[in-house]
Chain A
Amino acid sequence: SQKIEQNSEALNIQEGKTATLTCNYTNYSPAYLQWYRQDPGRGPVFLLLIRENEKEKRKERLKVTFDTTLKQSLFHITASQPADSATYLCALAKAAGNKLTFGGGTRVLVKP
């Protein structure tokens, strides 16, 4: 069966360092991979989308990589700030499909 795995353990990181989150998937051939941020008690907020034919995407201090051979995406937050503390969700979708499937999320805590 299809599986999307994110590290369920919280990532504690010092302010100013780079946080790196992993999203692994099995039995899946996604055309799109998306990353969201979710704060407690709020809905997810879209951050970045990367397509299967793209290796890397950047937006301000965020960088996403997509390796279809390893079946893995890495999400980097550079120069992390306490305001980056949140849960980050990855989500995958097949081409010509209408279903975006989410991983369980990884909580990030940036300490001053």
Chain B
Amino acid sequence: NAGVTQTPKFRILKIGQSMTLQCTQDMNHNYMYWYRQDPGMGLKLIYYSVGAGITDKGEVPNGYNVSRSTTEDFPLRLELAAPSQTSVYFCASSAHGTGSGYTFGSGTRLTVV
């Protein structure tokens, strides 16, 4: 099993540009999450989804958007990139929400200049 796959691994954006971070999982998990991790800090929840067609905001949703049209895919959209969005982004999925362990992807390192 591939688990959770994120693309791209690295990206440099200019201020004001937009991009989509891709995330796909092959474990048939209903729950999916996007986190960001700043250097030396814990992970902060951006958005999450409890199933196809259902999304909700996490702790730091401003500047981001998500969609969940299929069980497998949960893309994260950055509109009008800002330097404050420079971070490492992790996608995760779980079988039973917070009552089971999360499987994380390998991350996307984004720099906004």
Inter-chain CA distance A42–B100, complex, in Å, is 20
Contact of B106 among A32, A43, A46, A104 (CB under 8 A): A43
Inter-chain CA distance A43–B106, complex, in Å, is 5
Provide the residues of chain A in CB contact with B97, threshold 8 Å: 93, 98
B98 close to A93 (CB less than 8 A): yes
B41 close to A104 (CB less than 8 A): yes
B45 close to A101 (CB less than 8 A): yes
Within 8 A of A (CB), among B89-108: 90, 92, 97-107
B48 close to A42 (CB less than 8 A): no
Task: Specify the chain B residue showing the minimal Cβ separation from A6.
Answer: B42
In the complex, whether B21 has a CB less than 8 A from a CB of chain A is no
Q: A98-B50, A98-B56, A99-B48 are in contact. Are A46 and B43 (CB under 8 A)?
A: no
Chain A residues engaging chain B, CB cutoff 8 angstroms: 4, 8, 31-32, 34, 36, 41-47, 49, 89, 93-94, 97-105
